Amino acid sequence: MNRLRAWWALLLFTALTLPLMPLQQCFVWFWPRMARVFPMHYHRLVCRILGVKVEVIGTAPERGPLLMASNHVSWLDIVVLSSVAPVSFVAKREVARWPFFGSLARLQRTVFVDRDRRHATGDARDEMQERLKADDIVVLFAEGTSGDGRSVLPFKSAFFGAAEIPGVLVQPVTLAYRSHRNLPMNRRLLPSYAWYGDMDLAPHLLGALRAGPIEVTVICHAPLPLSGGLSRKALAHHAEEEVRRGLVLALHHPAKIR
């Protein structure tokens, strides 16, 4: 039954996505405002197809300029965060070369970065700033890689420099893969959804669909500007601590965040 459910969900996802890809491309070319908003409505449908229930704690942003600094757990993070707000993402450059998913990333106006080349950081930061000047909401997975979903890795501060323009806020956001079929997520099940290390994408995707419905909590912490005495590194550290505190509360003391 679980295998049948996984293939059915994949079929529905494909049937929804393929006809909408050229439509989103037209929005990117001719209607930039709709190109920002349309993926949010699309990903809300994808959440329903995949059996992902999203709970939002705090105030989700409706417009930019805003830099979201989030922990990174899974490929599902894209679906979850994009269902909450009209966002675009910062991703490693090799994602652009992935079959199919690279096309989806480009359609969502992803900023691709080469983390292995130091001089490329400045170019990516400049592109992020152009997006922010256009009032975009840009999601930065500030750990620089995905984790196990139970802890938060140190935030890298380099791309926080994109917020060094007037009027831009930085909002820490916690992603917590909190429960499975309305029961607390356990250590055995979490790797079915947390995608990290050397896990292959395709088997992991099918495994997550077979595992069944989950509940993900998104905690939108209070945003701050990169001003008033806060340095780029201090702001990154503050965001890291907020996200880590939110994750601990969501996983172990969920009543305290409501």
Q: What is the mean pLDDT of residues 119-133?
A: 84
- Amino acid 182: pLDDT: 81
Whether residue 1 is predicted with pLDDT greater than 60 in this model: the reply is no
Task: Tell which residue, 223, 224, 221, 209, has the closest CA to residue 250.
Answer: 221
Residue 80, phi then psi, degrees to nearest 5: -65, -55
The percent of residues above 70 in pLDDT, for the chain, comes to 95
Q: What is the mean pLDDT of residues 95-124?
A: 84
Whether residue 228 is predicted with pLDDT greater than 70 in this model: the reply is no
Alpha-carbon distance 195 to 95, whole Å?
Answer: 14
Q: Strand 111-113 to strand 137-141: parallel, antiparallel, or no bridges (unpaired)?
A: unpaired
- Amino acid 229: pLDDT: 67
- Amino acid 118: pLDDT: 61
Tens-digit pLDDT profile for residues 16-44: 999 999 999 999 999 999 999 999 999 99
Alpha-carbon distance 8 to 49, whole Å?
Answer: 9
Alpha-carbon distance 57 to 133, whole Å?
Answer: 27
- Amino acid 165: pLDDT: 87
Domain limits, the chain: 2-257
Query: In the structure, what pLDDT confidence band is assigned to residue 192 with cuts at 50, 70 and 90?
Result: confident
Please, which residues bridge with residue 175 across strands? 218
Alpha-carbon distance 43 to 21, whole Å?
Answer: 13
Whether residue 202 is predicted with pLDDT greater than 80 in this model: the reply is no
- Amino acid 206: pLDDT: 82
Q: What is the mean pLDDT of residues 177-183?
A: 86
Domain 2-257: which topology?
A: Glycerol-3-phosphate (1)-acyltransferase (3.40.1130)
Whether residue 255 is predicted with pLDDT greater than 80 in this model: the reply is no
Q: What is the mean pLDDT of residues 217-239?
A: 88
The answer, as to whether pTM is greater than 0.85, is: yes
- Amino acid 117: pLDDT: 64
- Amino acid 14: pLDDT: 95
